[in-house]
Structure 1
């Protein structure tokens, strides 16, 4: 992807596609058990992504790099979505899950030092303000989810955040097309195994299941993660992570429009605070000016370069 096109169109496209995943997830989990939804999503998307990577002749990771790619994929795909989709099954709303996921920039910032990336004071302030906004909005929905639902949201948050850090640390140069294919494909057997162990193979509403699956496979598993992995390869982690502050607001609006979830005043206030945090977090500290030494006095320089005259006795 062209760098200028990525700069202009990349962030809004990522925010829209990522936000829509919560809406599609709610619809899908309402039609079938969460592990079956994930198994179908990962299985279909994995095959399509492998075919795409072969067609474009992507360079596949090998050896230890392949192992690291698998670990990053399981964290970002299986752990994240396994926890979030199960939370949806426990009646946690799409808005709450996206708001919890909005804390990912804070988690990533904590570990940014492990990648050799510096975080300025203004960025730390932005992360704090963004986290406060997320907390306000989650507080507004506290009566809609159980303790189990909250724990699942935290597990999903850690899966995304640590998976992103792990990928940036151990597989920074892997072709994003091959990496995305590996991430999704290796997660499918785990989702299938969990679906088999829980006997979760009944589809209550085939039409809604099929519609949500088409969107999740093409837009979420393929489009969003190909774009995310490309950004992670070309930009630093803190720059990419700050876009996640906008996702809760977009998700809340989409949930209001598509699945009729209400927008309450405290939620709106929390989302506004979160957006302020995103703006602050996007600001970089000015680069320090190179140190300069004070010029020497002309007389001193002249004195130093003149040869000593012999002393007459």
Structure 2
């Protein structure tokens, strides 16, 4: 029952929560400096996740596993979001940032061999079509500076390398404790960058507070707990293909929430991206297994609501 619920509800929940992060980020960065927003997100989420892990008796990583967890957390949190939030401060749109982030399955697939996973020719075709769909979804919003582009690419590298690193070196870590460590170790780095920048001005406290609440509860806690659980249950390529859909969903949400225009090509991109996702998933649908099967979840995790309900 738990596995079935994760199969049905997990992907759409992850896509919605991940897409909403771009909208909350745009709102937050419009009200306060990017690093101040990021520090608030990491610090509050870190404290809440540590409390959650303690209350639910999570198994904390130690020794070398803890060191690997810290590296993965800094890549997936500080590097990725530090670059993306700074790009938002450079007026790069949510759609463009999600476009670049949506290329992560291709980058991850290149490194899939490090995990012993096999990517078939049909899956590569699906990745290619999915990438085309991502491009179509935001082609009318493709005006950005060189600095903004480089920041987006840095954020893409953080997410992709962090995902591969986590899967390679901490495949069986307790999701609750691992996510708490990711946030907790990233907060001091963001705080240091706030001090270096020296900008503490909040122009709109209400928007700043509202965006932080959403980013902490929905994005930092819900989305990453769900993502890390999926990475334990499924292979990396299967999880990463959901990111093809996120740019089009983000564009729709940006149109509804922050009044960014929704063009016909965005709708076309969504359709093409879905086709690519289907092709990229055919191996799993056919019941074939990757060269290295995804590890089973720890008993402690499987017994908690974390692994049985969408966030």
TM-score of the pair, normalised by structure 2:
0.89
Question: Deviation at 1:287?
Answer: 6.7
> Which structure has the greater CA radius of gyration?
1
Within 2, Cα distance between the matches of 1:111 and 1:228? Answer: 19
2:170 maps to 171
- For the Cα contact (< 8 Å) 2:58–2:174, is it kept in 1? yes
1:247-282 deviations in Å (ceiling 9; x for gaps): 111111111101100012333333322222111111
Partners of 2:157 and 2:129 lie apart in 1 by: 20
Displacement of 1:96? 1.1
Question: Counterparts of 1:138 and 1:254 in 2: how far apart (Å)?
Answer: 13
Structure 1: distance between partners of 2:207 and 2:149: 26
- 2:80 is aligned to 80
d(CA) in 2 for partners of 1:29 and 1:214? Answer: 14
Question: What whole-Å deviation, never above 9, does each CA across 1:119-159 have from its counterpart, x for those lacking one?
Answer: 1111000011111222334432222x111111111111111
Counterpart Cα distance in 1 of 2:174 and 2:167: 12
Match of 1:295 in 2: none
Aligned residue number for residue 45 of structure 1: 45
Matched position secondary structure for 1:31: coil
Rounded to whole Å, the distance in 2 between the matches of 1:15 and 1:136 is 18
| Deviations, residues 146-174 of structure 1 (Å, cap 9, x unaligned) | 11111111111111111000000000000
1:35 and 2:35 correspond: yes
How many Å separate the matches in 2 of 1:147 and 1:136? 21
For residues 204-240 of structure 1, the C-alpha deviation after alignment (integer angstroms, 9 at most, x for no partner) is 1000000000000000000000000001011100110
Q: TM-score by structure 1 length?
A: 0.89
8 Å contact kept, 2:18–2:246: yes
Alignment match, 1:116: 116
Whether 2:271 is the aligned partner of 1:272: answer yes
After TM superposition, the structure 1 = structure 2 runs for residues 58-77 of structure 1, keeping only pairs within 5 Å, are 58-77=58-77
Give runs of aligned pairs for residues 56-205 of structure 1, distance below 5 A: 56-143=56-143, 145-205=144-204
Match of 2:302 in 1: none
For 2:287 and 2:45, locate their aligned partners in 1 and report how far apart those are by CA, in whole Å. 42
1:253 and 1:15 mapped to 2: Cα distance?
Answer: 13
List runs of 5+ in structure 2 lacking aligned partners.
289-311
Give the Cα separation in 2 of the matches to 1:278 and 1:157.
19
Tell whether the 8 Å contact from 2:248 to 2:266 is kept in structure 1 after alignment.
Answer: no
Contact 1:100 1:138 in 2 (8 A): no
Displaced runs of 4 or more, over 6 A: none
Cα displacement string for residues 71-111 of structure 1 (whole angstroms, at most 9, x for unaligned residues): 00000000010011111111111111111111111111111
Alignment of 1:228-267 (within 5 A): 228-267=227-266
Tell me the distance in 2 between the aligned counterparts of 1:273 and 1:132. Answer: 7
Structure 1 unaligned spans of 5+: 289-313
Question: 1:12, CA displacement in angstroms?
Answer: 0.8
Of the structure 1 ranges 192-201 and 1-10, higher mean CA displacement relative to structure 2 is found in 1-10
RMSD: 1.4
Whole-Å Cα distance in 2 between the matches of residues 249 and 138 of structure 1?
8
